[in-house]
Amino acid sequence: MLAEGLKLTFIGMGTVYVFLAILITCMNLTSKILKPFTDKEFADHERELEEAARARAEANVGNDGAVVAAISAAIEAHRK
């Protein structure tokens, strides 16, 4: 009975090990196959993020005086 339990344990663990090995292999193959497509999309996305950050920085340059005035007014109102 103990031998049957050990046999079942090893069969179950072996099955899980084989399944995980196949899963890892499939994921690695998928990664290698899709890498050329994702590199282009990643570069496009990075460029869009840089352009958006540059546009935000340019938009915020003119608002510094208004922001300082608003913060100063809020601090003054809080102190009263």
Q: Give the pair of three-digit tokens for residue 37.
A: 């497509």
The answer to whether the pTM exceeds 0.75 is no
Residue range 28-69, pLDDT digits in tens: 999 999 988 888 888 888 888 888 888 887 776 666 777 888
Count each helix (H run) and each strand (E run) in the chain, helices first. 2, 0
Mean pLDDT on 13-33: 97
Q: How confident is the model at residue 11 (pLDDT cuts 50, 70, 90)?
A: very high
